[in-house]
Structure 1
Amino acid sequence: MSNDIICNGNAANLPSLNVVKTPIKYEMDPAGNFDWLLHIYYARQDFSSCEALIDQLLDTQLNPEYLYFVRGQIRRNQEKYYEALKYFQLAINLNSKNIENFKEIGKTLYLMGRYEQALEVYREAEELSNRPDNEIFHFIGEILLLSDNPNSRQEAKQYFQKAVEHGKMIDSFKRLAELHRQEKDYSKAVEVLEACLQISPESTEILTEISVLYLKINETQKAFDKLLNVTDINAGCPLGLLAFGAILQSRGDVDGALAKYKQIHGCDNVETSELWNNVGLCFFKKKKNFVAISCLRKSVWLAPLNYNALYNMSLIYITAKQYASGFHTLAAAISLRKESAECYMLLGICLQKLKDNENALLAFERSSGLVKPNMKSPLVFLNSAIFLYQMGKTEAAAVNFNNFVEESKEFVLSTELKFQATKLKAMLQQSNCESLVESLGRLDEENENEKDNLPLEVTAKVMVTPQKLNN
């Protein structure tokens, strides 16, 4: 190809434009600091390049503390814990005031299951640190939770509170909220998780957990608003849909709840005991008892130790007049919660229907004895009073009836329960029971705040989170 061009009518000859590029060679200065390059390799999880660079620099650097530190982290990622401890110890030998080395040793010991030694290391790091360190506080709290000492739980709570105040570790917020929830301080748990939302405002897990806690304190509208945020972020969030369905179910919108549960069932690999429990209760509300029992059997099959599912299934068995099946299911539920007054009450009903009055009496007496002062279980006393009256034990029936009247003061009674209570009172008065209360007039009075109270009845347990055995 010619390089000539025509310029002003004359041919002009141009020089060649070929450019020869000389490759640039980078040479590593033996005295230079390449910690930045090592950090980049480690952040990329390029451990082979890390190892090669460490081997190259170990002989040249006068203070290879960071090299040992990174190699220790690599060994821990490879689950070579003893080698990791060796390298972290070499780093401490070079700089005994760097708390990061102590934190990594503590974390390694924690992963090895050597909790007491890990706690000692973190305590030492806490003393050496010249400023509050949220990571140290968090791991001390985690280790204290694993202790058998009952006082350690409160100390762990204090450390998680410190971690929340001095850092932004989401796990610390979750742990602290979980401890408040286990103590049934739901308002405090909500406060902690609301603060966590400032760090991660689009976390569907945290938003759903807040909505569940709002449900526990009967703030259904706030729970509904949080779940709307969940569906805006992720319309197919299974736990959000489950909580959404539970709210609709509690409001009596069974068809709307079933629609939400159907969306969960359409998700891949999402099939939980809680889902089938709630679906079963929807069919129970529709008076389709046999379909409800099938759903609850599925729930129990997925989680045999789910107390709520067993309790609900026994309730439906009794409604369907399958008393023998109800007895066996209640026996399984009681084995999980031996202090459940409601379970013993239902067991007494089953035994009464099965003509075993002697054991039914023991079950009713057990249920009445399990009611604690802070528990409001008036229905336990009413059923016990009715059974005792039928057995001819009028004085004992009157005592239970008086307990029922006292316990039911904070409830709005359904029409059926008012009728049964008034009828039982009349029968006891005909028996001239001296211990019977004089009046049941309050049962016929209308409560001005009726809409803010729950009707007194044996209620099924709608579930929005997996049931824990220690609750």
Structure 2
Amino acid sequence: MSGAPDTSTSSALAPTTVRERANGEIHRLYVRQDFDACMKVIEEQLAIKGSSEYPLYVKALIKRQTGEIQESLHLFQAATCLNPQSVANLKQVGRSLYLLGKHKAAIDVYDEAQRIASEDWEILHNKGLCYMYLKQYEKAIDSFRNANQIHRHDATFMQMGKVYTLQEDYKSAIEVYLEALEFSSENPEILTTIGLLYLRLGENYRAFAFL
């Protein structure tokens, strides 16, 4: 029996360990917003390994934050090709399409993400935004309501109220914002919006209670 150490396990783990260390460094630099150093590590990793999901994902985030939305879309799509079941990748593809004004295409991507993660609040909220910009207001309201059934967020209440306001249904908008106050009673934006809507309805006495 040979006294030589069994290196098969360590050899198998080594690439993963190196990749995890590199990904950890990319994450650390990104969180610090040291984008130049982060991009340098990313490009090194991509040069060594070719396509790699996490470096592509973070590179896409940086590109979007620096205004290169189309480039970010291509990178998120490349990351999705490497891991088609990643909801995070799909949500970012949808977000980039939304920012490019491609709302119908974004909805298609969010639908795919929803098939994988049906209880994800953010997917439904973002679908609602897309429907709102397409002026499909009933679908927008349904999406926002469904998002709130999963997890209530001020942002969703605000957008739902905005949809009603766009339709000049101020009473329904006020009802939405009043419901939001039950969960976020000190939110100044909600309070001010309610006050302004009451002014539009000519209910000055109620308005001043919120302004």
Which TM-score band (shorter chain)? 0.7 to 0.9
Q: CA deviation at 1:204?
A: 2.7
Equivalent residue letter for 2:132: L
Aligned to 1:100: 88
Change (3 A) 1:181 1:86: closer
Q: CA deviation at 1:162?
A: 1.6
Aligned to 2:158: 174
Secondary structure, aligned partner of 2:67: coil
Contact 1:141 1:157 in 2 (8 A): yes
Q: Rg larger in 1 or in 2?
A: 1
CA distance in 1, matches of 2:123, 2:194: 27
Contact 1:30 1:60 in 2 (8 A): no
Contact 1:197 1:203 in 2 (8 A): yes
Aligned to 2:110: 122
Q: CA deviation at 1:36?
A: 4.2
* Matched pairs, number: 195
1:155 lines up with 2:139 in the alignment: yes
Which of 1 and 2 has higher RCO (CA within 8 Å, sep 6+)? 2
Q: CA deviation at 1:79?
A: 2.6
Q: CA deviation at 1:176?
A: 0.9
1:44 lines up with 2:36 in the alignment: no
1:133 lines up with 2:98 in the alignment: no
Contact 1:68 1:90 in 2 (8 A): yes
Change (3 A) 1:179 1:82: closer
Secondary structure, aligned partner of 2:43: helix
Aligned to 2:42: 54
Contact 1:41 1:50 in 2 (8 A): yes
CA distance in 1, matches of 2:183, 2:57: 29
Aligned to 2:191: 207
**CA offset digits 1:73-114 (Å, max 9, x no partner):** 111222323332232122112211111111111111222222
Equivalent residue letter for 1:47: F
Secondary structure, aligned partner of 2:18: coil
Contact 1:68 1:88 in 2 (8 A): yes
Equivalent residue letter for 1:44: R
Structure 2 runs not aligned, ≥5 long:
1-16
CA distance in 1, matches of 2:111, 2:43: 33
More helix by share: 2
CA distance in 1, matches of 2:43, 2:183: 40
Q: CA deviation at 1:186?
A: 3.5
Aligned to 2:10: none
**CA offset digits 1:52-82 (Å, max 9, x no partner):** 2223444677993221111111112223233
**CA offset digits 1:96-146 (Å, max 9, x no partner):** 1111111111111222222332222122222222x3222222222222233
CA distance in 1, matches of 2:94, 2:26: 23
Structure 1 runs not aligned, ≥5 long:
1-28, 228-471
Q: CA deviation at 1:185?
A: 4.0
Secondary structure, aligned partner of 2:134: coil
**CA offset digits 1:182-210 (Å, max 9, x no partner):** 44543432232234345654443321111
Please give the root-mean-square deviation of Cα atoms over the aligned residues, in Å: 2.9
Name which of 47, 52, 66 aligns with 1:78: 66
CA distance in 1, matches of 2:178, 2:98: 30
Change (3 A) 1:59 1:111: same
Change (3 A) 1:103 1:53: same
Equivalent residue letter for 1:165: Q
Aligned to 1:111: 99
Equivalent residue letter for 2:133: L
Residues 244-259 of structure 1 aligned to structure 2 (within 5 Å): none
CA distance in 2, matches of 1:218, 1:133: 39
Name which of 173, 186, 208 aligns with 1:224: 208
Name which of 7, 30, 55 aligns with 2:18: 30
Q: CA deviation at 1:172?
A: 2.2
Aligned to 2:7: none
Aligned to 2:5: none
Contact 2:132 2:163 in 1 (8 A): no
**CA offset digits 1:28-59 (Å, max 9, x no partner):** x6354454443332233221121122234446
Equivalent residue letter for 2:155: D
Equivalent residue letter for 2:98: Y
Contact 2:198 2:204 in 1 (8 A): yes
**Structure 1-normalised TM-score?**
0.37
Aligned to 1:374: none
